[in-house]
Structure 1
Amino acid sequence: MYDENENKDTGRMNPEEHKEETVTTNFIMRDPDPVKSSPQASESSSQNQTDSSYEAQQNIPHYQEYQYHRAAEQNVFQEEAKPGKKGGFAKKAAALVGAALVFGVVAGSTMVGINWAAGAYGNRGSVEISQTETIPSSANESGIQASNTSSITAANDVSAIVDKAMPSVVAITSKMVYESQTWFGPMQREGVGSGSGIVVGKNDDELLIVTNNHVVQGADELKVAFIDGEAVDASIKGTDADSDLAVIAVPIKNISSDTLSKIAIASLGNSDNLKVGQGVVAIGNALGYGQSVTVGYVSALDRSVQTEDGTSRDLLQTDAAINPGNSGGALLNMRGEVVGINSAKYSSTEVEGMGYAIPISKAQNIIDTLMTRKTRAQVTDANQGYLGIQCKNIDAVTSQQLGMPQGVFIYKIVEGGAASKSDLREKDIITKFDGQGIKTYDDLTNMLKYYEGGTTVTLTVQSLENGQYVERNVDITLGKRPAEVSQQG
């Protein structure tokens, strides 16, 4: 695929223009390259690299905001003393003592009420959390644990829930190579990202982990760290950009017997049964430092939110902190069951306590489909498949404005390329590649990294016929990548 800059448009929307709806995904990108400190390199890099961290998108240091509010508080007590009438000091002192007494009574009553409420909530009987049993592994004598549920009393904390769920949550580290233009010419550098994942199953050879698509998108290398810290290479099994879901696989033979005995397969709940106000627990690789736990409540159900790329999704809203690095982690109910996959948070520094998760009941069918796909390893650039098209992105905004499906718009088919030998047509809009949903040019090129030339795949496209878009499936045999082409397509 040729790239004439148009297909670099990823459809990102200005957060200031959509402040009430836009949320940011919580996937940390770290770029260790010192060249970034150069103004020229930074300017170029900003055009070629997406920083998904919450702080970078806001571009407002948190400590400055904190100091501003602290300064405002201090001004209340720094008011200059003014001359008063005789006896003014005694009156002021008496008033202060009176105010202190009133505050003490009110505060004391408030704290008693809070303590009573906390006690009532914390001692509401029993909740059910995960117990585990061992499933023998075909790879070795150790086994991977599967979740079972039994009743355990919770007394003002969620530690029992966390103890059972934590073995099923993993930390994911991705590495990718970026190319940017500097004064000295093109320069490549390595970026590192952090996210989370949930162990949802296994087959004879692989441990299967669900995460967000944006956690693994564009990754050249993936590593998964389990509860004991052991890190193992992983491969992408399947992705779906529409739902922002992905399943990655770790070969069981590469996991030590000791680590296998500590891993648990998560118990999946039913998010359709959730009610606003119910307690939830979020676990994830916050800030890339390792697994951490936050607690909150279900704030809203089926909340329609708009992500950075302009896509709207119906998500669970929670006030449990969803921090950068939590993407792909578990949102648990008070039974220790996964009811959501942590995905995003509100992107304004003026708002706290608005995190979002993909409802597990809506994700289940997609996850099941992705788990059955063939695990593919990346192929070399020389062997990578080639479509032979020129294209543009149809993002969410353009889709709404022009009444076109969201996806990759083919505006030219290259003569002699693979597409010219298929039933693809100019003006078709690609929405799926080999059964996996795509929305952008980047999604398409990331898919092609796993397919060699000569492989036959099925593209799902929307074709304009008699003024209406009709879905078609087109089989195409990928061509060999021309040596002079630097971008795939």
Structure 2
Amino acid sequence: MDNQYSYYNPNETEGNTSNGTTFYNNGQGDDGKTPKKKKEHKKMPKAVAVTGLALMFGVVSSATFLTTNYVGTKVLKLGTTQKSTSTTSTSAVTSNASLTKTSSVVTSDVSSVVENVMPSIVSITNMSVQEVQNYFGGTSKQESESAGTGIIISQNDSELLVVTNNHVVAGSDTLTVTFADGNSVEANIKGTDSEYDVAVVAVPLDSISEDTKKAISVATLGDSTELKVGEPAIAIGNALGYGQSVTTGVISALNRSVSETDQTTGETTESSVKLIQTDAAINPGNSGGALVNASGEVIGINSSKLVGDSVEGVGYAIPISDVSDLIENLMNQETKTKVAEADQGAIGIKGMSVSTEYSQQLNMPEGVYVSEVTKGGGAEKAGMTRGCIITGINGTTVSSMDDLQEQLQYYAKGDEVELTIQVPQSNGEYQEQSVNVTLGAKQTSK
């Protein structure tokens, strides 16, 4: 039986064993003495054995893990955090705007950058009056409101100057600028350029309270020619008209050409400037807002968003360096205020738009094709003839009849304007000329 001794049996052969214990000659050894019993070998309890083995395995595993971790970290340089090498203008931006990589997810704290930039960002509200056709074939005037964003870029002796997109202020009857502290004032258009979708609006300094002046600042412009794909980008703007908000991303691509379709005419045009592509969310209302780098410098003017069911994370901005000269020109123009419709002046022509498509097909400049010159009008007196193309008025680019009519709202009859025209030559080319035209009375339809 288990764990018991078997005693000698005469029938057993000498040397046989029972359960591991041997007995000789009826309990006596060869010398006649009784042998001592061998000590019993007790088995170790199973619970104790399992616990010991588990402890031994844990110690060995821990030693192996520590050794592997040391080799990976010290020798192979694995698991080290890569720090951003971006240079910032202030220590606060440097410490809070650097990128860190944790578990393959890029995160960043841009709060200090936003805090520095936000005082230079404004919301723009455009109130306009549009003619709407009714069910009976007639037309009626309807007031509409749209929202956009602007960037404070400079000031002169009497005005605070804000850059935005042309489409944000186009067709405006009244423009309202709302500053970072929530105060709102009316603004006027300084200059616009529909080709590059850029405009500058002016806010009279005497209409801005002293408290607001202390709460706002002029933005710092960066160098968009130095941008690299993959570097961080921050978009700030009046998204959806709800007020200023912030989105972050990276520079996805540079020098992008984008085609945009006019919702009214259905005409598709390609952007005149190569755009910055970013995955920072840019929504309606963001137009005219700032795209800034990790140093808080404005590197682009948010302009449009490619919209589609299968498209996500694609937004565009106008590179600030590509339009800096244009912005400077618009800033130097005379501030415009609308003239009452009855007092508005006219050039004295009939014309039609030369779209991008026609321009390419017919090898003609974009602008307004003069199909007829009114007898006795300002254009005839200035020497303009049928077939010339108007491409500018007082330094503002004109690419369509709508652009020309938009600009003429700021001039009264009797005012003199400088028109930039393209005159056709016998060899099929066009020669640019400037003519001064005194505006006549605007003809009204009866």
For the aligned pair, the TM-score class normalised by the smaller chain equals 0.7 to 0.9
Letter in 1 for 2:115: D
Matched, 1:273 2:226: yes
- 1:312 shift after superposition: 2.8
Matched, 1:249 2:202: yes
CA–CA distance in structure 2, aligned partners of residues 284 and 400 of structure 1: 35
With structure 2 as the length reference, what TM-score do the two structures score?
Answer: 0.76
For structure 1, the residue ranges without an aligned partner over 5 or more in a row are 1-116, 132-148
More RCO (CA 8 Å, sep 6+): 1
Aligned residue in 2 for 1:317: 277
CA–CA distance in structure 1, aligned partners of residues 289 and 151 of structure 2: 6
- SS class of match (2:411): coil
Matched, 1:426 2:378: no
1:376-423 CA-to-partner distances (Å, cap 9, x unmatched) read: 211111111111211111111111111111111111112222212212
Tell me if the contact between 1:171 and 1:291 (Cα under 8 Å) persists in the aligned partners.
Answer: yes
- SS class of match (1:260): helix
When residues 438 and 169 of structure 1 are mapped into structure 2, their CA distance, relative to the original with a 3 A threshold, is: same
CA–CA distance in structure 2, aligned partners of residues 471 and 349 of structure 1: 44
CA–CA distance in structure 1, aligned partners of residues 390 and 325 of structure 2: 22
- 1:128 shift after superposition: 1.5
1:239-271 CA-to-partner distances (Å, cap 9, x unmatched) read: 111211110000111111111101010000000
Aligned residue in 2 for 1:477: 438
Aligned residue in 2 for 1:11: none
Question: Which runs of structure 2 are paired with 1:334-349 in the superposition (5 Å)?
Answer: 334-349=294-309
1:118-166 CA-to-partner distances (Å, cap 9, x unmatched) read: 9946x436642579xxxxxxxxxxxxxxxxx975443531011000001
When residues 260 and 390 of structure 1 are mapped into structure 2, their CA distance, relative to the original with a 3 A threshold, is: same
1:263-289 CA-to-partner distances (Å, cap 9, x unmatched) read: 010000000000011110000111111
1:287-316 CA-to-partner distances (Å, cap 9, x unmatched) read: 111111010111111112222241333111
Tell me if the contact between 1:174 and 1:216 (Cα under 8 Å) persists in the aligned partners.
Answer: yes
1:49-100 CA-to-partner distances (Å, cap 9, x unmatched) read: xxxxxxxxxxxxxxxxxxxxxxxxxxxxxxxxxxxxxxxxxxxxxxxxxxxx
CA–CA distance in structure 2, aligned partners of residues 419 and 125 of structure 1: 60
Matched, 1:182 2:134: yes
- SS class of match (1:321): coil
- 1:347 shift after superposition: 2.9
Q: How many residues align?
A: 352
Question: Which runs of structure 2 are paired with 1:134-149 in the superposition (5 Å)?
Answer: none
Question: Which runs of structure 2 are paired with 1:22-171 in the superposition (5 Å)?
Answer: 120=81, 123-124=83-84, 127-129=87-89, 151-154=94-97, 156-171=108-123
When residues 272 and 222 of structure 1 are mapped into structure 2, their CA distance, relative to the original with a 3 A threshold, is: same
Matched, 1:237 2:190: yes
Tell me if the contact between 2:336 and 2:410 (Cα under 8 Å) persists in the aligned partners.
Answer: yes
Aligned residue in 1 for 2:259: 306
Tell me if the contact between 2:345 and 2:440 (Cα under 8 Å) persists in the aligned partners.
Answer: yes
Aligned residue in 2 for 1:393: 353
Aligned residue in 1 for 2:249: 296
Aligned residue in 2 for 1:8: none
Question: Which runs of structure 2 are paired with 1:175-214 in the superposition (5 Å)?
Answer: 175-184=127-136, 185-214=138-167
CA–CA distance in structure 2, aligned partners of residues 232 and 248 of structure 1: 12
Q: Runs of at least 4 residues of structure 1 off by over 3 A?
A: 117-121, 149-153
CA–CA distance in structure 1, aligned partners of residues 222 and 295 of structure 2: 9
Matched, 1:363 2:323: yes
Letter in 1 for 2:97: A
CA–CA distance in structure 2, aligned partners of residues 256 and 385 of structure 1: 36
When residues 243 and 130 of structure 1 are mapped into structure 2, their CA distance, relative to the original with a 3 A threshold, is: farther
1:199-220 CA-to-partner distances (Å, cap 9, x unmatched) read: 0000111100000111111101
- SS class of match (1:317): strand
Tell me if the contact between 2:96 and 2:109 (Cα under 8 Å) persists in the aligned partners.
Answer: no
Question: Identity rate of aligned residues, in percent?
Answer: 47
Aligned residue in 2 for 1:220: 173
Aligned residue in 2 for 1:75: none
Per mean C-alpha deviation after superposition, the further-off stretch among 424-433 and 305-314 is 305-314
Larger radius of gyration: 2
Tell me if the contact between 2:97 and 2:294 (Cα under 8 Å) persists in the aligned partners.
Answer: no
Letter in 2 for 1:470: Q
CA–CA distance in structure 2, aligned partners of residues 250 and 118 of structure 1: 54
Letter in 2 for 1:328: G
- SS class of match (1:167): helix
Tell me if the contact between 1:129 and 1:334 (Cα under 8 Å) persists in the aligned partners.
Answer: no
- SS class of match (1:265): coil
CA–CA distance in structure 1, aligned partners of residues 90 and 119 of structure 2: 11
In terms of fraction of residues, the more helix-rich structure is 1
When residues 282 and 477 of structure 1 are mapped into structure 2, their CA distance, relative to the original with a 3 A threshold, is: same
- 1:473 shift after superposition: 0.9
Tell me if the contact between 1:125 and 1:153 (Cα under 8 Å) persists in the aligned partners.
Answer: no
CA–CA distance in structure 1, aligned partners of residues 258 and 233 of structure 2: 20
- SS class of match (1:223): strand
Aligned residue in 2 for 1:28: none
Q: CA RMSD in A?
A: 2.1
CA–CA distance in structure 2, aligned partners of residues 437 and 129 of structure 1: 36
Aligned residue in 1 for 2:367: 407
Letter in 2 for 1:154: A
Aligned residue in 1 for 2:35: none
Tell me if the contact between 1:298 and 1:316 (Cα under 8 Å) persists in the aligned partners.
Answer: yes
Matched, 1:173 2:125: yes
